[in-house]
Amino acid sequence: METMEKLPTKIITTESPKYKLIAENIVASYDGVVAVKNVTMKFRDRAVTALIGPSGCGKTTFLRCLNRMHELTKNAKIEGRVLLDGEDLYTNKQDPIINRRKIGMVFQKPNPFPTMSIYDNVAAGLKLNGLRNKSVIDDIVEGCLKMVYLWDEVKSDLKKPGMSLSGGQQQRLCIARALAIQPEVLLMDEPASALDPIATQKIEEMINELKKEYTIIIVTHNMQQATRVSDYTGFMYLGDLIEFGETKQIFENPRNETTARYVQGQFG
């Protein structure tokens, strides 16, 4: 198993750190169960931040708070602030739809729209957001499919249903769909958990490429994956953020004992 020798090079070195997204004092619950207890995290622009932790630690719930998706869950409650470029998503008087389009999301299981073609799946968000120019739509669809390395595989079958693709291709299609609306932040909830190793590798390569432009936050239960793709890592346990720092530090030199036990694979 290739492990930690190949840490990604950091992009931001000289400038003072710029935070794209800041989550402050997030407390989230559903059905009376508190899933996230007072978590504060700052996410740097053009970097990949991984959230790791055993299942049930609240990492997915926390992720869903970042684009106001959590409140769609039944009996969901949330407190705290989420600042995107300094603007609070939760207190601003505008509808959540305005901010969701700035924060794309990829889900654990691929969820293409089953009745739509590959092309229409990618274009769905474009038409929704008022893009009418056919040639621009064509350009974006092609560009996004290229970004997820899907273009060469599907360019002759754009009219085929999205469901005709393999699982890994479907997931990349969903990422292309999320990228098409030109978001600034990309949230990924265990995007590779349902995929085979080859498809996983493609997704990871893609993340390394995408982070040149995007702020990426990825939830994963796979520690090797976190070391391969992320610059920063947060370890969550029982709804708390236990430790947050550079990925190399978290995995090689954890300061917290629970973190140490987790990254050494002693539980989880």
- 77 touches another protein by CB under 8 A: no
Q: Which residue, 160, 84, 83, 151, is CA-closest to 121?
A: 160
Min dist. Cβ of residue 19 to another protein (A): 20
Q: How far is the CB of 131 from another protein (least distance, A)?
A: 5
Q: Which of 6, 74, 93, 159 binds another protein (CB under 8 A)?
A: 74
**Residue 234 beta carbon to another protein: minimum distance, rounded to whole angstroms:** 22
Helix (H), strand (E) at residue 87: strand 87-88
Distance between CA 87 and CA 205 in Å, rounded? 31
Q: Give the number of residues written for the chain.
A: 268
Could you say which residues in the range 188-247 bind another protein, by CB under 8 A?
209, 213
The residue within the footprint of another protein, chosen from 116, 224, 260, 261 (CB under 8 A), is: 116
Indicate which single residue of 10, 79, 136, 196 sits in contact with another protein (rule: CB under 8 A).
136
Rounded-to-integer distance, Cα 255 and Cα 238, Å: 18
* Two tokens, residue 113: 């729209």
Q: How far is the CB of 128 from another protein (least distance, A)?
A: 6
Based on its alpha-carbon atoms, the radius of gyration of the chain, rounded to whole angstroms, reads 18
Binding another protein (rule: CB under 8 A), the pick from 3, 40, 133, 166 is 133
The 3-state DSSP class for residue 111 equals coil
The phi and psi torsions of 4 (rounded to 5 degrees) equal -100, 0
* Sole binder of another protein in the list 29, 60, 61, 67 (CB under 8 A): 67
Q: Binding mask 138-177 vs another protein (x if CB under 8 A, - otherwise)?
A: -xx--xx-xx---------------x------x---x--x
Q: Which of 67, 80, 43, 50 is nearest to 183 (CA)?
A: 67
Are the C-beta atoms of 260 and 72 separated by less than 8 Å? no
Please, what's the largest Cα pairwise distance for the chain? 56
**Residue 48, interface with another protein (CB under 8 A)?**
no
Identity of the residue, 12 or 136, whose beta carbon is nearer to another protein in the bound complex? 136
Q: Do residues 176 and 113 make contact, with C-beta atoms less than 8 angstroms apart?
A: no
How far apart are alpha carbons 137 and 28 in whole angstroms?
Answer: 38
Minimal distance, residue 182 CB to another protein, in Å = 5
Contact by Cβ (8 Å): 229, 202? no
100 near another protein, judged by CB under 8 A: yes
14, 55, 93, 132: which one binds another protein (CB under 8 A): 132
Among 69, 78, 154, 185, binds another protein (CB under 8 A): 69
Of 252, 167, 92, give the one whose Cα is nearest residue 263.
Answer: 252
Does 112 sit near another protein (CB under 8 A)?
yes
Interface ranges with another protein (CB under 8 A):
67, 69, 72, 74-75, 94-95, 97-98, 100-101, 104-105, 107, 109-116, 124-126, 128-133, 136, 139-140, 143-144, 146-147, 163, 170, 174, 177-178, 181-182, 209, 213
